[in-house]
Structure 1
Amino acid sequence: MTAPRGRPVRVGVFGLLGSGNLGNDGSLEAVLGYLRADHPEAVVDALCGGPEVVARRYGIRATRLHWYRGEYRTASRAGAVAGKGLGKLVDAFRTAAWVRRHDVVVVPGMGVLEATLPLRPWGFPYALFLLCAAGRLTGTPVALVGVGAAAIRDRPTRALVRLAARLAAYRSYRDELSRDAMRRMGVDTSRDEVYPDLAFALPVPAAPGPGDAPGTVCVGVMDFHGSNDDRARADEIHRRYLEGTTRFVRTLAGEGRPVRLVTGDGVDRAVVEAVLAAVDSPLVTASPAASLAELMAEMAGADVVVAARYHNLVCALKAGTPTLAVSYAAKSDALMAGMGLGAYCHPARELDVDRLLEQFRELEKGAAGARRTLAEHNRAATGRLAHQFTALTTALFPAADRPHALREAP
């Protein structure tokens, strides 16, 4: 893909970016780093969930993803239902017009082809379908770069996701499970590659100084209610997860361990507040981290990380900190296994605090070995992601084809 002579390449980035999910924004940051290093002439803008945040934080123009501002709120009144319905029609034209203005559109990472957390088919799956269909109709290649996928039971959601994937010009996945899931859903994945999550391309910030409390444990919490298939018992799952997490944190604080509560999405703040109120200890504090880089810095200074959200785990593993996953989906188990810590996974739906504490103590005893293992796997991940960006240039920017070199932070 090349722009007409004399005009810079126009690249669009698309997704639920700037909406409070730190993992999504971290994936965007990684792709922007690649574009600025390898294609500095490119003009980049976004169609996204939080345009004000994206424009302010990353210095690019941004447009709101949905015409109807209440898209992700439950519609109970007739006016809201009508607004949502009209929004679907308006978004089809808005998306096509936006896509047509670009030479390439990139969907940076994120779990855009999965339903491991609750979602409705006419929300983001429909928006992704519109994007990929518009790309095919206008001749603008749409690239799904390092995305997550999972088998989807809900038929409308599965149909939209499958169609979107088929219409994309380029696909790569963040793990083998994702590629296998799309193959089982009827997508030809013979040309699709698997690379580490895009967030592994981000530099590791400096850890906090020695003035910070030694022995700190970062505990990553989430507003967990199960998956799309767990709606009937969502309240029960949430109650068990919250009670188990609270008891785990209370036990650590009772042993004199400083605990730092971290999140990965704005919706998790309610869980943080509930745990703080229930434990009521000066040893338990909440992190104000507002970006993946800030989160990674906190985790780099911790002795151990125990976390649920996928990108909390990515941050901890990238930082080289011994990590225990409170796993809510197969993608977390696959991530931990791929980084050499597959033994340290615990099911979020059936959280057993005694067993979690046992795994935690085992991990602490083997912390030195875990750090060596993570250093080795991080070097391999850096190399694989350099190959990912070179492959992306070859596919989408052939006139500028050249190797990409990722550099670790000093």
Structure 2
Amino acid sequence: MRTPVRVGLFGLLGSGNLGNDGSLEAVLGYLRAEHPEAVVDALCGGPEVVSARYGIPATRLNWYSGEYRTASSVGAIAGKGLGKLVDAVRTAAWVRRHDVVIVPGMGVLEATLPLRPWGFPYSLFLLCASGRVFRTRVALVSVGASAISHRATRALVRWSARLATYRSFRGAMSRDAIRAMGVDTARDEVCPDLTFALPTPRASAPADPPGPVCVGVMDFHGGNDERARAEEIHRRYLDGTTQFVRALVEDGRPVRLLIGDELDAPVAAAILDAVGSPLVTAAEATSLADLMKEAAAADAVVATRYHNLVCAVKVGTPTLALSYSAKSDVLMAEMGLGAYCHPAREVDVDQLLEQFRALEKRSAELRRVLAERNLAAVRRVEHQLTALTASLFPATEAS
């Protein structure tokens, strides 16, 4: 009898980011359908959450529990430094126990948000280097990537990509960014975000009179190269989003605030407090399925976080992006909504309202476009997963 294939899942999973967990859910669904014999576990940011929610054993990604908190004392600095050495041993030992390790989606090769090289980029490098040493197949599946100016971060990302056995990207822009770093991407595929593989709830019929609007908020402080302006960027974003919500309320529209990461909760709370209207409520979403249900019940969605946008377009609801990254612009263009992007760094409320009203005027037409684009996206993700089986599970295919 053949030994079951041992599959590890790796990343900042179970850490409060619903998009990351949605990618995990999509890959788990694929493994359970196509490789039910596989023995699956995870090395991740929130092992307790992953084990409880998805029923697989999970181990904490970092030995030092304060890895993602700012080190403000000698003890914390020493703990982080020691943790880097311990994590090298722990990661290598974990990788060695597996035949395949999958990094499911996520922007693991990006620096579009503040990022330190010795945080997750270092963890990813340890994973990919250990895979080469122990001949464990490491797959970066439908991941996001971006141009990176910081030298150390760029080097760790470049080597991680080079050392991976398999790579695919959630957009041509991501593949081009890695190619520009000197990685040969000639054999790497581009496909939609993995979360397009998740079940889609049925969208509600548009209300008459106009119904609710979902506004997806984000704890946005700019990108990795904008740390000096972080507070200014955040203030402009929060003020502009609050004014937009207030304008919707003045038009009598119910507003549901969506968050995609637990870090976003204070932003939603600040808007609720500032607007002070019973027409504004915050959704208590704990998964992408919850976010999709909220978006499906809305007449329109205006959102910032990438996976809030994915959820909205996936259920076919007309959507406007408060865009903080080129990846959002690309997604919107691919889904036929390229005209409905507004910069998150420079929210102009009058212009945003004008774009929103134009979006709603084309609602019926855009719902038809989104239905067609979603069918195409699902087919491309299915093709991606078939290619993944051929690349990572050749023995299973041959049996």
TM-score (norm 1): 0.95
Over the aligned positions, Cα root-mean-square deviation in angstroms equals: 1.5
TM-superposed CA distance for 1:7, in Å, is 1.4
Q: Is the 8 A contact 1:183 1:189 kept in 2?
A: yes
Identity %: 75
Please state if 1:229 is matched with 2:240. Answer: no
For 1:294, what is the secondary structure of its paired residue? helix
Q: Which residue of 2 aligns with 1:407?
A: none
Measured after TM superposition, the shift of residue 272 of structure 1 is 0.4
Partners of 2:209 and 2:57 in 1: CA distance: 41
Runs of 4+, deviation exceeding 2 Å: 205-214, 399-402
Residue in 1 that maps onto 2:124: 128
Distance in 2, matches of 1:212 and 1:179, equals 43
Q: How does 1:319-334 map to 2 (within 5 A)?
A: 319-334=315-330
SS at 1:46's partner residue? strand
Deviations 1:248-288 (A, max 9, x none): 00000111100000010000001000000000000000000
Question: Are 2:161 and 1:165 aligned?
Answer: yes
Distance in structure 1 (CA, Å) of the matches to 2:282 and 2:375: 31
Partner SS, residue 17 of structure 1: coil
Matches within 5 A, 1:15-34: 15-34=11-30
Amino acid at match of 1:67: W
Aligned partner letter, 1:334: V
- After superposition, give the CA deviation of every residue in 1:367-404 in whole Å (9 maximum; x if it has no partner): 001100000000000110110000000000113339xx
Q: In the alignment, which of 78, 81, 99 is matched to residue 82 of structure 1?
A: 78
Number of the residue aligned with 1:40: 36
Does structure 2 retain, via aligned residues, the 8 Å contact 1:55–1:61? yes
- Segments of 5+ residues of structure 1 without an aligned counterpart are 403-410
Cα distance in 2 for partners of 1:43, 1:292 equals: 25
- How many angstroms apart in 2 are the aligned matches of 1:56 and 1:119? 28
1:382 corresponds in structure 2 to 378
Aligned to 1:98: 94
Q: Please list, as runs of the form range in 1=range in 2, the aligned pairs for 1:57-206 lying within 5 A after superposition.
A: 57-206=53-202
Alignment of 1:389-404 (within 5 A): 389-401=385-397
Separation (CA, whole Å) in 1 of partners of 2:113 and 2:128: 22
* 8 Å contact kept, 2:215–2:256: yes
Aligned-residue offset at 1:166:
0.3
CA displacement, residues 193-248 of structure 1 (integer Å, 9 cap, x when unaligned): 00000011111124579999961000000000000011010111000000000000
Question: Could you tell me how far apart the structure 1 residues matched to 2:54 and 2:209 are?
Answer: 32
- Post-superposition Cα deviations, 1:2-29, rounded to whole Å, max 9, x if no partner, equal xxx5311110000000000000000000
1:304 aligned to 2:289? no
Q: What SS is found at the alignment partner of 2:10?
A: strand
Aligned residues: 398
Q: CA–CA distance in 2 between the matches of 1:288 and 1:76?
A: 33
Q: 1:76 to 1:388 in 2, by over 3 A?
A: same
| Equivalent AA in structure 2 for residue 153 of structure 1 | S
TM-score, normalised with respect to structure 2? 0.98
CA distance in 2, matches of 1:130, 1:213: 55
The answer (yes or no) to whether the contact 1:305–1:322 under 8 Å persists in 2 is yes
Alignment partner of 1:151: what SS?
A: coil
